[in-house]
Amino acid sequence: MILCIETSTTRCSVAIGWGTEVIAQRAIEAPEGGHASALAPMVEEVLQELKARDLSLRAIAVSAGPGSYTGLRIATSLAKGLCLGLQLPLIAVDTLELLARGAIVQLPSGSPVTIVPMLDARRMEVYTAQFTAEGRRLTEDAPLILDEQASPLQQGKYILVGNGATKARGLWPEMDYEVWDEGFAPEASVMIPLATAHYEAKDFVDTAYWTPNYLKEYVAVIAKNKVLGR
């Protein structure tokens, strides 16, 4: 069994399973830093279900980014602590690949489309990549500023997925694409098959030194004093 943790958006989710089997999962909306209080209790609950079934945990997988700086840091800290305490390997699953898989599992087999996961990176910027309908990666993860004059799409059918895809709705009327944004967020339960493949390939990351793929440097913003107006 593998414990999977996903906190790259306001959606906070955890799941335990192997292959296509999910034996326990929890998910909530945790806006404005709510991951810090929600994540650990959810993990504890699914671990108790694992214990009740007398099953053993073999690894811990975490969403590797890109995504929310705060959410990724919280999940990484918890995952590393559990790995060190339980002497388990750590698996990192690319968040955009995870988001793409959430769409792929809903497509008919052999669909001739390109999947474009998009995570909101504020203003008109998104984190994105492109995948075939079979899950093969076509482009690397990258930040992208959406511009109506410069479409990242070529000829063919595209499905744009995720909270960043909303920004592209109607932006390129000459291109053939759909926007799947409502209800599409990276989910820990969808991570299980990807994490299983990493485990079987012994594709683990260094628990001590690995860090999430933020894609951009974090820039802290100093809040204005609303009373003094500065």
Pairing of β 176-180 and β 157-161: parallel
Residues 31, 72, single domain; the answer is yes
Better-scored residue on pLDDT, 141 or 220: 141
Residues 105 and 135 in one domain: yes
- Count of the separate structural domains present in the chain: 2
Residue 172 lies in a domain: yes
Does residue 134 share a domain with residue 120? yes
Q: Whole-angstrom Cα distance, residue 64 to residue 60?
A: 12
Query: What is the C-alpha to C-alpha distance for residues 73 and 92, in angstroms, rounded to an integer?
Result: 13
Which pTM was predicted? 0.90
Confidence at residue 108, expressed as pLDDT on a 0 to 100 scale: 86
pLDDT, tens digit (0-9, with 9 covering 90-100), for 119-138: 999 899 999 999 999 999 99
- Residues 59, 112, single domain; the answer is no
Dihedrals phi, psi of 161, to nearest 5 degrees: -125, 140
- Confidence (pLDDT) at 226: 46
User: Residue 224's pLDDT is what?
Assistant: 47
Confidence tier at 216 by pLDDT (50, 70, 90): confident
If asked whether residues 156 and 196 sit together in one domain, one would say no
pLDDT over threshold 70, residue 220 = no
Q: Looking at the structure, tell me whether residues 131 and 153 fall in a common domain.
A: yes
Asked if residue 137 and residue 83 are part of one domain, the reply reads: no
31 & 109 share domain: no
Q: Does the residue 226 lie in any domain?
A: no
pLDDT for residue 3 is more than 70:
yes
Answer whether 38's CB lies under 8 Å from 188's CB. no
In the chain, the amino acid numbered 118 is: M
Q: At what angle do helices 95-104 and 188-200 cross, to 10 degrees?
A: 110
Q: What is the mean pLDDT of residues 59-83?
A: 96
Query: For residue 18, is it within any domain?
Result: yes
Residue percentage of the chain with pLDDT more than 70:
93
Question: Residue holding tokens 């951009």?
Answer: 216
Residue 119 and residue 126: Cα distance in Å, rounded? Answer: 5
Instruction: Indicate whether 149 belongs to any domain.
Output: yes
Residue 57 in any domain: the answer is yes
Least confident among 29-33, 40-44, 53-57, 222-226: 222-226
Q: Are residues 195 and 174 in the same domain?
A: no
Q: Is the pLDDT of residue 176 over 60?
A: yes
With cut-offs at 50, 70 and 90, classify the pLDDT of residue 230.
low
Provide mean pLDDT across the span 7-31.
95
Question: Residue 166 is part of which domain span?
Answer: 96-180
